[in-house]
Amino acid sequence: MTTRSVVVKVGTTSVTNADGGVDVGVLAAIARDVTALRSEGWQVAVVTSGAITAGWAEVGAGRRRPTDAVTLQAVSAVGQPLLMHAWRDAFGALGVPVGQVLLAPLDFAHRGQYLQARGTLESLARLGVVAVVNENDAVADEEIRFGDNDRLAALVANLVGASHLVLLTDTDGLLTADPRLDPAATLIDEVAAIDADLMEMAGASRSGVGSGGMASKLAAARLATWSGVTVIIGAARASEPLRRALGSRGAGTRFRPRPDRLAARKAWIAFAAPSRGSVTVNDGAVEALVHGGRSLLRVGVVARSGDFAQGDAIDVLDPAGARVAKGLARMDAAALDGEEGDMVIHRDDLVVLRAR
């Protein structure tokens, strides 16, 4: 994609109203911003939440929202076409076509499907179509229970090589405290690095509707900035929300990207491929990987965990159990327990996740 490309994610509490229905005003404002940015040469993809909430507003009839995965899956199947219809109307009023893209964790776990998803999104962009992406909630029960679309948006930004990721939510950005608990809370304009203290400060979702919260957004920002993407968290209901987030240094919270963007394949290894196990290495191996740019050899491995196969992604841990790197195993777990072979992870298949 071009050097100016953005993935914008809109959270459930922003895309729906107090009754659970789709907030057409928010969608219309975002559609206007997307259309204006496209006229300036930007490529834009939209990641939307809200299918479950919209679906329950349609069929719940005032009943308490369910929590079991099977019912949530069924409800999302009701809400997804309602949500997509609303996005189609918002963009259609501006003469812009949209295309629905539903993704599940499997689409990121397997390299072939990952590339297929990227090809689809790139083809939609070439056709002048705005991709509207959502988690395939009707089948991805694990994501319904534990995730929001913040991580999906970061993975999509990684997938298409976006320069920016904008997470639109119901706050102005990352604040020094929860404003509902601390009226003196102020906006943090810029974050250079996401550390443990910052993650601890972020709270969980308090809306009872979305499943993410600020901690989810910080985790997504950390993933995206490691991929060289500039991330902004901003207010969805502000005037010109997307253009405001992208155009003003004082609008929202901006997270600086790492200066060295990971190559697409290494970004997939680091953030999209699921870990199937781990190896613990000695201090000499840590030094060789982090500062020497070396491959991981059997001699440096002191323990392993998991029944991983050749080609699986595995974590590399230091003697204290902290993650140092992640890579694709050149041998399976059983072979590592044996005596044959020396190459555990080749440096071309390894991503160092500890600062040098």
245-279 per-position pLDDT tens digit: 998 666 899 999 988 778 888 988 998 888 999 99
Asked which of 187-201, 298-312, 324-338 is least confident by mean pLDDT, the reply is 187-201
- State the pTM of this model: 0.86
Highest average pLDDT, of 42-51, 63-72, 334-343, comes from 42-51
**Would you say residue 211 has pLDDT above 60?**
no
pLDDT category at 320 given cuts 50, 70, 90 is very high
Residues 6+ apart with CB under 8 A from 106: 113
pLDDT of res. 267: 87
pLDDT of res. 157: 94
pLDDT of res. 147: 53
What percentage of the chain has pLDDT greater than the value 90? 65
**Would you say residue 299 has pLDDT above 60?**
yes
Domains and CATH numbers, the chain: 5-264 (3.40.1160.10), 274-352 (2.30.130.10)
pLDDT category at 216 given cuts 50, 70, 90 is confident
**Would you say residue 307 has pLDDT above 80?**
yes
pLDDT of res. 255: 95
Mean pLDDT of the chain: 89
Q: Quick: pLDDT tens for 138-187.
A: 766 554 443 568 999 999 999 999 999 999 998 899 888 877 788 888 99
Average of pLDDT values for 186-213?
Answer: 69
pLDDT of res. 248: 66
* Tokens linked to 291: 């500062």
Helix/strand/coil (H/E/C) assignment for every residue in the chain: CCCCEEEEEECHHHHECCCCCECHHHHHHHHHHHHHHHHCCCEEEEEECCHHHHHHHHHCCCCCCCCCHHHHHHHHHHHHHHHHHHHHHHHHCCCCCEEEEEECHHHHHCHHHHHHHHHHHHHHHHCCCEEEEEECCCCCHHHHHHCCHHHHHHHHHHHHCCCEEEEEECCCCCECCCCCCCCCCCECCEECCCCHHHHHHCCECCCCCCCCEHHHHHHHHHHHHHCCCEEEEEECCCCCHHHHHHHCCCCCEEECCCCCCCCHHHHHHHHHCCEEEEEEECHHHHHHHHCCCCCEEHHHEEEEECCCCCCCEEEEECCCCCEEEEEECCCCHHHHHCCCCCEEECHHHEEECCCC
